[in-house]
């Protein structure tokens, strides 16, 4: 079911569609055209297309996991539109690969592809610089990052470092609603971090009203997301890892979050 829609620019509407237990599907709409990002289910996307008489132009995928691709078959059958994603045979009906450094255009949108291995070996994210949007799949979450199912801590740390170089006002559209849990974890590590406490209170209020916590901004993530802060002395001190490398701190935080 559709949870929310936010008009972020006058010419493109981003519809945030809730699916499964905590997934987000993004439908980007201009005029009567649309693309869908990470369709974990087809039915809510088809309902949204029918409701607003939209023509689906493409299915855009960040990684192969079923909870980001399960809607592909039915959507392709209904619309015959292309499937774009990383070069990975595990993605159903893939027709165009998205490679690091490439630009892929849809109507008024022009996305830069950034390879971000870690969660999976072939994960990519999509950055629209004019709009300031980043579709992160399961690489970067609200106050978190994806589990390392296929990649290494070093790969994920480097992938997040790439994202951290983008402008602070970049809006982060992630694949799951994990923000409250991630902030509760962050608060357990740094109970005196006021930025984390404030964001946690806000996120809880939003979720109580069934409002998505996405999009966040990169500047907010850099203040409150432990996985983007492994270089900070305050986090190292909280972990009693004052002299550890940034990668060792990141690895420790990921391990702790796995068991939280």
pLDDT(216) > 50: yes
Sheet containing 124-128, strands listed edge to edge, beginning at the edge strand earlier in sequence: 103-106, 109-115, 124-128, 133-137, 171-174, 216-217
Beta bridge partners of residue 17, listed in sequence order = 2, 25
CA–CA distance from 95 to each of 70, 72, 87 (Å)?
16, 12, 10
Q: What is the pLDDT of residue 5?
A: 42
What sign has the CA pseudo-torsion 210, 145, 37, 173? Answer: positive
Mean pLDDT of 205-218: 98
> What is the distance of C-alpha 159 from the center of its chain?
13
Per residue in 96-118, pLDDT (tens digit) is 999 999 999 999 999 999 999 99
Distance CA 212, CA 103 (A): 28
Provide the annotated active-site residues: 63, 65, 67-68, 119, 138, 176
Strand partners, 110: 105
CB 6 within 8 A of CB 30: no
Which burial class, exposed, middle or buried, applies to 258 when counting CB atoms under 10 A from its CB (0-12, 13-18, 19+)?
exposed
Cα distances from 252 to residues 53, 71, 144, 177, 230, in angstroms, run 49, 35, 14, 23, 10
Domain that holds residue 132: 2-258
What pLDDT, in 10s, does the model give residues 17-44? 999 999 999 999 999 999 999 999 999 9
Average pLDDT for 239-245: 97
pLDDT at residue 11 in the model? 86
Phi/psi at 7 (nearest 5 deg)?
Answer: -85, 105
For 59-79, what is each residue's pLDDT tens digit? 999 999 999 999 999 999 999
Around Cβ 205, how many Cβ atoms within 10 Å? Answer: 11
- Maximum Cα–Cα distance across the chain: 58
The mean per-residue pLDDT over the stretch 181-198 comes to: 98
The better pLDDT of the pair 197, 10 is held by 197
Count Cβ atoms within 10 A of the Cβ of residue 244 and give its class: 0-12 exposed, 13-18 middle, 19 or more buried.
Answer: middle
Count of structural domains, the chain: 1
Q: What is the CATH number of the domain that holds 191?
A: 3.60.15.10
| pLDDT exceeds cutoff 70 at 184 | yes
Helix (H) or strand (E) holding 161: helix 153-164
């Amino acid at each position: 079911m559709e949870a929310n829609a936010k008009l972020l620019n006058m010419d493109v509407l981003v519809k945030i569609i809730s699916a499964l237990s905590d997934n987000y599907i993004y439908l980007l709409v201009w005029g009567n055209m649309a693309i869908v990002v990470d369709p974990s289910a087809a039915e809510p996307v088809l309902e949204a297309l029918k409701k607003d008489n939209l023509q689906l132009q493409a299915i855009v995928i960040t990684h192969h996991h079923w909870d980001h691709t399960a809607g592909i078959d039915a959507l392709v059958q209904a619309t015959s539109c292309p499937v774009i994603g990383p070069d990975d045979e595990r993605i159903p009906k893939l027709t165009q690969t998205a490679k690091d450094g490439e630009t892929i255009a849809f109507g008024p949108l022009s996305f830069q592809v950034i390879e971000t291995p870690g969660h999976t070996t072939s994960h990519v994210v999509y950055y629209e610089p004019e709009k300031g949007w980043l579709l992160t799949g399961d690489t970067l979450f609200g106050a978190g990052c994806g589990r390392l199912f296929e990649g290494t801590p070093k790969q994920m740390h480097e992938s997040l470092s790439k994202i951290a170089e983008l402008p602070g006002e970049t809006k982060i559209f992630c694949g799951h609603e994990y923000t409250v849990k991630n902030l509760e974890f962050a608060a357990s590590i740094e109970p005196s971090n006021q930025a984390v406490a404030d964001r946690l209170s806000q996120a809880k209020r939003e979720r109580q009203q069934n409002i998505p916590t996405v999009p966040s901004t990169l500047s907010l993530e850099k203040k409150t997301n432990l996985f983007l802060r492994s270089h900070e002395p305050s986090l190292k001190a909280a972990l009693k890892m004052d002299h550890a490398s940034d990668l060792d701190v990141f690895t420790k935080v990921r391990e702790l979050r796995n068991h939280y």
